[in-house]
Amino acid sequence: MIQGVAGTIIWTENFTELLDFYRNVFVTEPKSIKGQFASFDFGETKFGLGIHKNVKGISKEIYRVMINLRTEDIFFEYERLQALGVKFIRIPEKENWGGWIATFLDPDNNVIQMIQQS
């Protein structure tokens, strides 16, 4: 029986730039870096970045997969990330289910959403 999502990995050929980007987004250092793979630890959920020989260039179908990041203050995070030059494609907006969502792109053109539950 599946019990949840253990983590996410973004494969890239642009490891250094993505690592710096996510250090700024998460405001923390990875739990581990081994060669060209880094892992951030969020309790039971892991977020990895690494070089993959079959990945070339930036994401061409940016809406195929979206990674959702939880936050308690979407407006603070929106302002903080915008000041760092992060490209938002959706400013924080209230959803019909009561929460808030804002959407941005990482340097490889992956779509990342921040979600605040009401």
The model's pTM: 0.92
Instruction: Please state which CATH class domain 58-118 belongs to.
Output: alpha beta
Chain segment 10-19, per-residue pLDDT in tens: 999 999 999 9
Chain segment 48-92, per-residue pLDDT in tens: 999 999 999 999 999 999 999 999 999 999 999 999 999 999 999
Question: What percentage of the chain carries pLDDT values higher than 70?
Answer: 100
Joined together, the tokens standing for residue 90 give 């959706």
For residue 79, give the H/E element and its range: helix 74-83
What are the structural domain ranges in the chain? 1-54, 58-118
For the 1-54 domain, the top CATH level (class) is alpha beta
**42 pLDDT more than 90:** yes
C-alpha–C-alpha distance, residues 94 and 13, integer Å? 35
Q: In Å, how far are 12, 48, 56, 59 from 53, measured between CA atoms?
A: 9, 16, 8, 15
**Per-position DSSP letters for 21-63, written without gaps between them:** HHHHHHTS--SEEETTEEEEEETTEEEEEEE-TT--SS-SSTT
Give the number of other CB atoms < 10 A from CB of residue 35: 8
